[in-house]
Structure 1
Amino acid sequence: MTSHDWSDVRERLSRLAAARPARAVFGSEGHRWNLEPPLSTGELAELEKQLRVELPEEYRSFLLEAGRGGAGPSYGLFSVRRVAGRWRWEGSEADRTDLDILDQPFPHVEAFNPASPPGEADFGSPEEFRTALEEYWGWYETTVDDPRHSIGMLHLCHLGCSHLEGLVVTGPARGRMWANSIMSDEGFQPLFDDDGMPLGFARWYLRWLEEAEAQVLPSAR
Protein backbone atom coordinates (compact mmCIF):
# COMPACT_ATOMS: atom_id res chain seq x y z
CA MET A 1 0.00 0.00 0.00
CA THR A 2 1.26 3.48 -0.82
CA SER A 3 0.75 6.85 0.80
CA HIS A 4 -2.02 9.17 -0.36
CA ASP A 5 -2.58 12.88 -0.93
CA TRP A 6 -5.11 14.00 1.67
CA SER A 7 -4.85 17.73 0.92
CA ASP A 8 -8.48 18.17 -0.18
CA VAL A 9 -10.20 16.13 2.53
CA ARG A 10 -10.87 18.98 4.96
CA GLU A 11 -12.30 21.16 2.19
CA ARG A 12 -14.61 18.35 1.09
CA LEU A 13 -15.75 17.77 4.65
CA SER A 14 -16.44 21.49 5.07
CA ARG A 15 -18.68 21.47 2.00
CA LEU A 16 -20.60 18.56 3.44
CA ALA A 17 -20.91 20.23 6.84
CA ALA A 18 -22.41 23.32 5.22
CA ALA A 19 -25.09 21.34 3.39
CA ARG A 20 -28.29 20.84 5.36
CA PRO A 21 -28.97 17.34 3.91
CA ALA A 22 -25.66 16.17 5.38
CA ARG A 23 -27.46 15.63 8.68
CA ALA A 24 -29.12 12.60 7.11
CA VAL A 25 -25.82 10.77 6.59
CA PHE A 26 -25.57 7.94 9.11
CA GLY A 27 -23.34 8.81 12.06
CA SER A 28 -22.79 12.45 11.10
CA GLU A 29 -24.58 13.78 14.18
CA GLY A 30 -21.69 12.38 16.18
CA HIS A 31 -18.64 13.54 14.25
CA ARG A 32 -20.32 16.58 12.60
CA TRP A 33 -17.85 16.33 9.69
CA ASN A 34 -14.96 17.51 11.87
CA LEU A 35 -11.46 16.05 11.83
CA GLU A 36 -9.22 16.48 14.83
CA PRO A 37 -5.75 17.97 14.19
CA PRO A 38 -3.12 15.75 12.56
CA LEU A 39 -0.30 14.19 14.51
CA SER A 40 3.18 15.65 14.29
CA THR A 41 5.96 13.42 13.02
CA GLY A 42 7.32 13.27 16.56
CA GLU A 43 3.95 12.20 17.98
CA LEU A 44 3.58 9.51 15.33
CA ALA A 45 7.08 8.24 16.06
CA GLU A 46 6.25 8.10 19.77
CA LEU A 47 2.99 6.27 19.05
CA GLU A 48 4.68 3.66 16.85
CA LYS A 49 7.46 3.16 19.38
CA GLN A 50 4.85 2.44 22.05
CA LEU A 51 3.02 0.00 19.75
CA ARG A 52 6.28 -1.60 18.55
CA VAL A 53 4.87 -1.54 15.03
CA GLU A 54 4.96 0.77 12.01
CA LEU A 55 1.44 1.57 10.89
CA PRO A 56 0.52 0.95 7.22
CA GLU A 57 1.51 3.89 5.03
CA GLU A 58 -1.94 5.01 3.93
CA TYR A 59 -3.11 5.39 7.51
CA ARG A 60 0.20 6.93 8.60
CA SER A 61 -0.16 9.62 5.94
CA PHE A 62 -3.76 10.28 7.00
CA LEU A 63 -2.68 10.79 10.61
CA LEU A 64 0.06 13.20 9.53
CA GLU A 65 -1.81 15.13 6.83
CA ALA A 66 -5.56 14.89 7.50
CA GLY A 67 -6.30 14.23 11.15
CA ARG A 68 -5.98 11.90 14.09
CA GLY A 69 -9.69 10.96 14.07
CA GLY A 70 -13.19 12.31 13.72
CA ALA A 71 -15.24 12.44 10.51
CA GLY A 72 -15.34 9.08 8.81
CA PRO A 73 -17.43 6.00 8.06
CA SER A 74 -20.41 5.22 10.30
CA TYR A 75 -19.92 6.93 13.68
CA GLY A 76 -16.54 8.28 12.63
CA LEU A 77 -12.89 7.37 13.03
CA PHE A 78 -11.66 6.57 16.50
CA SER A 79 -9.31 9.33 17.62
CA VAL A 80 -5.78 8.57 18.73
CA ARG A 81 -4.80 10.59 21.79
CA ARG A 82 -2.12 10.64 24.46
CA VAL A 83 -3.71 9.99 27.86
CA ALA A 84 -1.59 9.95 31.02
CA GLY A 85 1.54 9.64 28.92
CA ARG A 86 0.29 6.70 26.81
CA TRP A 87 -1.24 6.68 23.35
CA ARG A 88 -4.59 5.04 22.72
CA TRP A 89 -7.62 5.20 20.43
CA GLU A 90 -10.82 6.56 21.93
CA GLY A 91 -14.45 6.06 20.98
CA SER A 92 -17.29 3.60 21.57
CA GLU A 93 -15.80 0.07 21.33
CA ALA A 94 -12.29 1.39 20.59
CA ASP A 95 -11.04 -0.58 23.56
CA ARG A 96 -11.74 -3.80 21.64
CA THR A 97 -8.19 -3.33 20.28
CA ASP A 98 -5.60 -4.69 22.69
CA LEU A 99 -2.65 -2.38 22.07
CA ASP A 100 -0.30 -4.62 24.05
CA ILE A 101 -0.56 -7.36 21.40
CA LEU A 102 -1.07 -5.22 18.32
CA ASP A 103 2.48 -5.97 17.15
CA GLN A 104 1.80 -9.71 16.96
CA PRO A 105 1.01 -11.01 13.45
CA PHE A 106 -2.59 -11.18 12.32
CA PRO A 107 -2.50 -14.68 10.82
CA HIS A 108 -5.51 -14.60 8.49
CA VAL A 109 -6.04 -13.76 4.83
CA GLU A 110 -9.53 -15.23 4.50
CA ALA A 111 -12.72 -14.84 6.53
CA PHE A 112 -12.86 -16.82 9.76
CA ASN A 113 -15.29 -17.25 12.62
CA PRO A 114 -14.00 -18.38 16.02
CA ALA A 115 -17.53 -18.09 17.40
CA SER A 116 -19.34 -20.29 14.90
CA PRO A 117 -22.07 -22.29 16.70
CA PRO A 118 -22.37 -26.06 16.15
CA GLY A 119 -24.77 -27.41 13.53
CA GLU A 120 -27.35 -30.06 14.30
CA ALA A 121 -26.25 -32.15 11.29
CA ASP A 122 -22.86 -32.70 12.96
CA PHE A 123 -24.36 -34.77 15.80
CA GLY A 124 -25.88 -38.21 16.02
CA SER A 125 -28.91 -37.24 18.07
CA PRO A 126 -30.90 -34.16 19.12
CA GLU A 127 -29.70 -34.70 22.70
CA GLU A 128 -26.03 -34.56 21.66
CA PHE A 129 -26.71 -31.39 19.67
CA ARG A 130 -28.49 -29.69 22.59
CA THR A 131 -25.61 -30.57 24.91
CA ALA A 132 -23.06 -29.18 22.44
CA LEU A 133 -25.11 -26.02 21.96
CA GLU A 134 -25.33 -25.43 25.71
CA GLU A 135 -21.56 -25.87 26.00
CA TYR A 136 -21.06 -23.48 23.09
CA TRP A 137 -23.13 -20.72 24.67
CA GLY A 138 -21.26 -21.16 27.93
CA TRP A 139 -18.00 -20.69 26.05
CA TYR A 140 -19.40 -17.81 24.02
CA GLU A 141 -20.37 -15.73 27.04
CA THR A 142 -16.87 -15.89 28.49
CA THR A 143 -14.56 -15.81 25.47
CA VAL A 144 -16.26 -14.31 22.40
CA ASP A 145 -14.79 -10.87 23.05
CA ASP A 146 -11.30 -12.19 23.71
CA PRO A 147 -8.93 -9.66 22.03
CA ARG A 148 -6.69 -12.53 20.95
CA HIS A 149 -9.16 -13.22 18.14
CA SER A 150 -8.12 -9.91 16.53
CA ILE A 151 -4.37 -9.85 17.22
CA GLY A 152 -2.72 -7.42 14.81
CA MET A 153 -5.97 -5.65 13.89
CA LEU A 154 -6.49 -1.99 14.81
CA HIS A 155 -10.21 -1.22 15.12
CA LEU A 156 -10.94 2.18 13.59
CA CYS A 157 -14.71 2.68 13.66
CA HIS A 158 -17.94 1.41 15.18
CA LEU A 159 -20.84 0.64 12.85
CA GLY A 160 -23.32 0.04 15.68
CA CYS A 161 -24.48 -3.13 17.46
CA SER A 162 -20.83 -4.02 18.22
CA HIS A 163 -19.92 -4.31 14.51
CA LEU A 164 -16.45 -2.84 13.95
CA GLU A 165 -14.15 -2.20 11.02
CA GLY A 166 -10.41 -1.91 11.31
CA LEU A 167 -7.00 -2.02 9.71
CA VAL A 168 -4.69 -5.02 9.83
CA VAL A 169 -1.26 -3.70 10.83
CA THR A 170 0.77 -6.92 10.96
CA GLY A 171 0.90 -10.27 9.17
CA PRO A 172 0.12 -11.27 5.57
CA ALA A 173 -2.99 -9.07 5.32
CA ARG A 174 -1.17 -5.95 6.54
CA GLY A 175 -2.65 -2.75 5.13
CA ARG A 176 -6.08 -4.22 4.44
CA MET A 177 -9.39 -3.33 6.05
CA TRP A 178 -11.41 -6.02 7.82
CA ALA A 179 -14.80 -6.25 9.52
CA ASN A 180 -15.19 -7.65 13.03
CA SER A 181 -18.74 -8.94 13.54
CA ILE A 182 -17.90 -11.65 16.04
CA MET A 183 -20.37 -10.29 18.58
CA SER A 184 -23.22 -11.18 16.19
CA ASP A 185 -21.77 -14.62 15.31
CA GLU A 186 -20.61 -13.48 11.85
CA GLY A 187 -16.90 -13.59 12.60
CA PHE A 188 -14.20 -11.64 10.76
CA GLN A 189 -14.23 -10.80 7.05
CA PRO A 190 -11.86 -8.90 4.74
CA LEU A 191 -13.45 -5.90 3.03
CA PHE A 192 -13.50 -5.49 -0.74
CA ASP A 193 -14.19 -2.69 -3.18
CA ASP A 194 -16.92 -2.95 -5.80
CA ASP A 195 -14.41 -4.40 -8.27
CA GLY A 196 -13.48 -7.18 -5.87
CA MET A 197 -10.14 -5.69 -4.88
CA PRO A 198 -9.18 -5.70 -1.19
CA LEU A 199 -9.83 -2.37 0.53
CA GLY A 200 -6.89 -0.48 1.95
CA PHE A 201 -7.38 2.43 4.33
CA ALA A 202 -7.33 5.15 1.63
CA ARG A 203 -9.94 3.57 -0.62
CA TRP A 204 -12.08 2.63 2.40
CA TYR A 205 -12.10 6.22 3.67
CA LEU A 206 -12.48 7.89 0.28
CA ARG A 207 -15.29 5.57 -0.78
CA TRP A 208 -17.21 6.69 2.30
CA LEU A 209 -16.50 10.34 1.45
CA GLU A 210 -17.58 9.90 -2.17
CA GLU A 211 -20.80 8.17 -1.12
CA ALA A 212 -21.58 10.97 1.33
CA GLU A 213 -21.01 13.58 -1.38
CA ALA A 214 -23.23 11.67 -3.81
CA GLN A 215 -25.98 11.51 -1.16
CA VAL A 216 -25.75 15.10 0.01
CA LEU A 217 -24.38 17.53 -2.53
CA PRO A 218 -26.69 16.97 -5.53
CA SER A 219 -29.72 17.86 -3.40
CA ALA A 220 -27.89 20.82 -1.89
CA ARG A 221 -27.44 22.58 -5.21
Structure 2
Amino acid sequence: MWTGVRERVLALRDAPHWRKVFGADRTGHGFELLPALTPDELAAAEAHLGVTLPHEYRTFLLEVGAGGAGPDYGLFPIRPPAPGAPPADRQAARPFRPELTALVDAHALDEPRPAGHPDDEAFRAAHAAWRTREDALDDALVDGTLHIGDRGCAYYSVLVVGGPHSGTVWEDVRAVGEGVVPQRLASTEGYLSFAEWYHHWLTWAERTARGESAR
Protein backbone atom coordinates (compact mmCIF):
# COMPACT_ATOMS: atom_id res chain seq x y z
CA MET A 1 0.00 0.00 0.00
CA TRP A 2 2.74 2.44 0.96
CA THR A 3 5.77 0.97 -0.84
CA GLY A 4 7.81 3.80 -2.32
CA VAL A 5 5.41 6.53 -1.21
CA ARG A 6 7.83 8.30 1.12
CA GLU A 7 10.46 8.37 -1.63
CA ARG A 8 7.95 9.70 -4.17
CA VAL A 9 6.89 12.52 -1.86
CA LEU A 10 10.43 13.58 -0.97
CA ALA A 11 11.48 13.50 -4.64
CA LEU A 12 8.98 16.25 -5.39
CA ARG A 13 11.21 18.74 -3.57
CA ASP A 14 13.39 18.69 -6.72
CA ALA A 15 10.55 18.83 -9.25
CA PRO A 16 10.65 21.97 -11.46
CA HIS A 17 7.11 23.20 -10.68
CA TRP A 18 6.63 22.02 -7.10
CA ARG A 19 5.56 25.51 -6.00
CA LYS A 20 2.44 25.16 -8.15
CA VAL A 21 1.12 22.43 -5.87
CA PHE A 22 -1.42 24.02 -3.56
CA GLY A 23 -0.23 24.11 0.03
CA ALA A 24 3.39 23.23 -0.69
CA ASP A 25 4.94 26.68 -0.98
CA ARG A 26 5.60 29.45 1.57
CA THR A 27 4.19 28.36 4.93
CA GLY A 28 3.12 24.99 3.51
CA HIS A 29 4.62 21.53 3.82
CA GLY A 30 7.36 21.88 1.16
CA PHE A 31 7.14 18.13 0.46
CA GLU A 32 8.81 17.35 3.76
CA LEU A 33 7.79 14.38 5.90
CA LEU A 34 8.41 13.72 9.56
CA PRO A 35 10.13 10.45 10.41
CA ALA A 36 7.85 7.45 10.67
CA LEU A 37 6.75 6.36 14.12
CA THR A 38 8.10 3.28 15.81
CA PRO A 39 5.53 0.71 16.95
CA ASP A 40 6.06 1.80 20.56
CA GLU A 41 5.56 5.46 19.68
CA LEU A 42 2.38 4.65 17.81
CA ALA A 43 1.07 2.59 20.71
CA ALA A 44 1.74 5.48 23.08
CA ALA A 45 -0.06 7.93 20.81
CA GLU A 46 -3.07 5.62 20.49
CA ALA A 47 -3.21 5.11 24.25
CA HIS A 48 -3.19 8.88 24.73
CA LEU A 49 -6.06 9.32 22.25
CA GLY A 50 -7.96 6.34 23.62
CA VAL A 51 -8.40 4.68 20.21
CA THR A 52 -6.80 2.18 17.87
CA LEU A 53 -6.29 4.13 14.67
CA PRO A 54 -7.63 2.75 11.35
CA HIS A 55 -5.34 0.34 9.54
CA GLU A 56 -4.45 2.49 6.52
CA TYR A 57 -3.55 5.46 8.68
CA ARG A 58 -1.61 3.32 11.17
CA THR A 59 0.52 1.83 8.43
CA PHE A 60 1.10 5.26 6.92
CA LEU A 61 2.42 6.52 10.26
CA LEU A 62 4.68 3.47 10.56
CA GLU A 63 5.95 3.34 6.98
CA VAL A 64 5.73 6.84 5.47
CA GLY A 65 5.82 9.53 8.13
CA ALA A 66 4.16 10.94 11.22
CA GLY A 67 2.98 14.09 9.43
CA GLY A 68 4.03 16.60 6.82
CA ALA A 69 3.37 16.60 3.09
CA GLY A 70 -0.14 15.76 2.05
CA PRO A 71 -3.36 17.19 0.65
CA ASP A 72 -3.86 20.93 0.98
CA TYR A 73 -1.53 22.32 3.67
CA GLY A 74 -0.35 18.87 4.73
CA LEU A 75 -0.88 16.38 7.51
CA PHE A 76 -0.85 17.31 11.16
CA PRO A 77 1.86 15.54 13.18
CA ILE A 78 1.09 12.55 15.35
CA ARG A 79 3.48 12.07 18.23
CA PRO A 80 3.49 10.13 21.49
CA PRO A 81 2.65 12.33 24.48
CA ALA A 82 5.49 14.12 26.21
CA PRO A 83 6.27 13.05 29.77
CA GLY A 84 3.78 14.68 32.11
CA ALA A 85 1.42 15.69 29.31
CA PRO A 86 -2.20 16.12 30.45
CA PRO A 87 -4.64 13.43 29.34
CA ALA A 88 -6.30 13.87 25.97
CA ASP A 89 -9.97 14.81 26.04
CA ARG A 90 -10.78 11.43 24.43
CA GLN A 91 -13.11 13.04 21.90
CA ALA A 92 -11.79 10.63 19.28
CA ALA A 93 -12.99 7.70 21.38
CA ARG A 94 -16.63 8.82 21.37
CA PRO A 95 -19.07 7.55 18.72
CA PHE A 96 -19.04 9.30 15.36
CA ARG A 97 -22.58 10.43 14.51
CA PRO A 98 -22.82 11.90 11.01
CA GLU A 99 -26.55 12.42 11.47
CA LEU A 100 -25.76 15.31 13.82
CA THR A 101 -25.15 17.61 10.85
CA ALA A 102 -28.86 17.41 10.00
CA LEU A 103 -29.74 18.02 13.66
CA VAL A 104 -27.56 21.14 13.67
CA ASP A 105 -29.42 22.42 10.59
CA ALA A 106 -32.77 21.76 12.23
CA HIS A 107 -31.65 23.40 15.46
CA ALA A 108 -30.66 26.56 13.57
CA LEU A 109 -34.23 26.90 12.33
CA ASP A 110 -35.52 26.80 15.91
CA GLU A 111 -33.60 29.85 17.12
CA PRO A 112 -35.85 31.73 19.57
CA ARG A 113 -37.31 35.07 18.51
CA PRO A 114 -38.40 37.87 20.85
CA ALA A 115 -41.94 37.80 19.51
CA GLY A 116 -42.42 34.30 20.87
CA HIS A 117 -41.80 35.25 24.49
CA PRO A 118 -43.74 37.32 27.01
CA ASP A 119 -40.81 39.54 27.99
CA ASP A 120 -37.11 40.19 27.46
CA GLU A 121 -36.03 38.03 30.39
CA ALA A 122 -37.89 34.99 29.06
CA PHE A 123 -36.40 35.53 25.61
CA ARG A 124 -32.86 35.84 26.95
CA ALA A 125 -33.25 32.63 28.96
CA ALA A 126 -34.64 30.73 25.98
CA HIS A 127 -31.91 32.02 23.69
CA ALA A 128 -29.18 31.15 26.18
CA ALA A 129 -30.52 27.58 26.39
CA TRP A 130 -30.68 27.39 22.58
CA ARG A 131 -27.09 28.65 22.31
CA THR A 132 -25.87 26.09 24.84
CA ARG A 133 -27.49 23.31 22.82
CA GLU A 134 -25.99 24.71 19.61
CA ASP A 135 -22.49 24.70 21.09
CA ALA A 136 -22.92 21.12 22.35
CA LEU A 137 -24.08 19.90 18.95
CA ASP A 138 -21.26 21.73 17.20
CA ASP A 139 -18.64 20.14 19.45
CA ALA A 140 -20.20 16.69 19.06
CA LEU A 141 -19.97 16.83 15.26
CA VAL A 142 -16.31 15.83 15.44
CA ASP A 143 -16.70 13.13 18.08
CA GLY A 144 -15.12 9.91 16.83
CA THR A 145 -12.76 11.72 14.46
CA LEU A 146 -9.19 12.93 14.35
CA HIS A 147 -8.25 16.18 12.63
CA ILE A 148 -5.51 15.12 10.21
CA GLY A 149 -5.08 18.06 7.84
CA ASP A 150 -5.53 21.80 7.30
CA ARG A 151 -7.47 22.80 4.19
CA GLY A 152 -7.19 26.53 4.84
CA CYS A 153 -9.86 29.11 5.76
CA ALA A 154 -10.73 27.14 8.93
CA TYR A 155 -11.65 24.02 6.93
CA TYR A 156 -10.09 20.72 8.02
CA SER A 157 -9.81 17.12 6.91
CA VAL A 158 -10.86 14.63 9.56
CA LEU A 159 -10.42 10.88 9.75
CA VAL A 160 -13.19 8.79 11.27
CA VAL A 161 -11.55 6.48 13.79
CA GLY A 162 -14.39 4.23 14.90
CA GLY A 163 -17.74 2.75 13.92
CA PRO A 164 -19.12 1.93 10.47
CA HIS A 165 -17.29 4.82 8.79
CA SER A 166 -13.90 4.10 10.37
CA GLY A 167 -10.99 4.87 8.08
CA THR A 168 -12.86 7.33 5.85
CA VAL A 169 -11.94 10.98 5.35
CA TRP A 170 -14.48 13.75 5.92
CA GLU A 171 -14.44 17.56 5.83
CA ASP A 172 -14.92 19.72 8.90
CA VAL A 173 -16.68 22.73 7.39
CA ARG A 174 -18.29 24.00 10.57
CA ALA A 175 -16.70 27.40 9.87
CA VAL A 176 -19.38 28.01 7.23
CA GLY A 177 -22.16 26.23 9.10
CA GLU A 178 -22.12 23.07 6.98
CA GLY A 179 -21.10 20.61 9.68
CA VAL A 180 -18.99 17.56 8.88
CA VAL A 181 -19.47 16.02 5.43
CA PRO A 182 -17.77 13.21 3.46
CA GLN A 183 -14.93 14.03 1.11
CA ARG A 184 -15.71 12.81 -2.40
CA LEU A 185 -13.89 12.21 -5.67
CA ALA A 186 -15.64 12.28 -9.01
CA SER A 187 -13.77 9.10 -9.97
CA THR A 188 -14.94 7.02 -7.00
CA GLU A 189 -18.22 6.00 -5.44
CA GLY A 190 -19.04 5.87 -1.75
CA TYR A 191 -16.82 7.07 1.03
CA LEU A 192 -13.15 7.89 0.52
CA SER A 193 -10.60 5.91 2.51
CA PHE A 194 -7.41 7.46 3.86
CA ALA A 195 -5.24 5.58 1.35
CA GLU A 196 -7.47 6.60 -1.60
CA TRP A 197 -7.38 10.20 -0.42
CA TYR A 198 -3.60 10.32 -0.03
CA HIS A 199 -2.74 8.42 -3.22
CA HIS A 200 -5.09 10.60 -5.26
CA TRP A 201 -3.36 13.71 -3.94
CA LEU A 202 0.13 12.30 -4.56
CA THR A 203 -0.63 11.39 -8.18
CA TRP A 204 -2.02 14.88 -8.81
CA ALA A 205 0.92 16.53 -7.01
CA GLU A 206 3.43 14.59 -9.12
CA ARG A 207 1.78 15.63 -12.36
CA THR A 208 1.51 19.25 -11.28
CA ALA A 209 5.03 19.52 -9.89
CA ARG A 210 6.49 18.02 -13.07
CA GLY A 211 4.42 20.20 -15.38
CA GLU A 212 2.37 17.28 -16.69
CA SER A 213 -1.09 18.35 -15.52
CA ALA A 214 -1.97 20.18 -18.73
CA ARG A 215 -0.98 17.32 -21.04
TM-score (normalised: structure 1)? 0.76
Q: Which residue of 1 aligns with 2:165?
A: 173
Shift of 1:74: 0.7
Q: Secondary structure at the match of 1:178?
A: strand
Amino acid at match of 1:7: T
Q: In structure 2, how many angstroms separate the alpha carbons of the residues matched to 1:87 and 1:55? A: 20
Shift of 1:67: 0.3
Q: In structure 2, how many angstroms separate the alpha carbons of the residues matched to 1:202 and 1:157? A: 14
Amino acid at match of 1:75: Y
Query: Are 2:10 and 2:33, in contact at CA under 8 Å, matched by a contact in 1?
Result: no
Q: Which residue of 1 aligns with 2:119?
A: none
Query: Are 1:112 and 1:188, in contact at CA under 8 Å, matched by a contact in 2?
Result: yes
Among residues 13, 37, 53, which one is paired with 1:17 in the alignment?
A: 13
Shift of 1:10: 2.0
Shift of 1:145: 8.9
**Could you list the per-position Cα deviations for residues 13-41 of structure 1 after superposition, in whole angstroms to 9, with x for gaps in the alignment?**
13321013111111102211011000001
Q: Secondary structure at the match of 1:151?
A: coil
Q: Secondary structure at the match of 1:167?
A: strand
In structure 2, relative to structure 1, the CA distance for the partners of 1:10 and 1:18 (3 Å cut) is same
Equivalent residue runs for 1:19-58 within 5 Å: 19-29=15-25, 30-58=28-56
Once the two structures are aligned, what percentage of the paired residues are identical?
37
Q: Which residue of 1 aligns with 2:2?
A: 6
Is residue 78 of structure 2 the alignment partner of residue 71 of structure 1? no
Paired positions, count = 200
Q: In structure 2, how many angstroms separate the alpha carbons of the residues matched to 1:219 and 1:196? A: 26
Shift of 1:214: 1.9
Q: Which residue of 2 aligns with 1:112?
A: 101
Shift of 1:12: 1.2
TM-score (normalised: structure 2)? 0.78
Q: Secondary structure at the match of 1:68?
A: coil
Q: Which residue of 2 aligns with 1:188?
A: 180
In structure 2, relative to structure 1, the CA distance for the partners of 1:59 and 1:87 (3 Å cut) is farther
Query: Are 1:113 and 1:186, in contact at CA under 8 Å, matched by a contact in 2?
Result: no
**Could you list the per-position Cα deviations for residues 148-194 of structure 1 after superposition, in whole angstroms to 9, with x for gaps in the alignment?**
22111101011111111110001221111111101111111112332
Q: Which residue of 1 aligns with 2:198?
A: 205
In structure 2, relative to structure 1, the CA distance for the partners of 1:33 and 1:198 (3 Å cut) is same
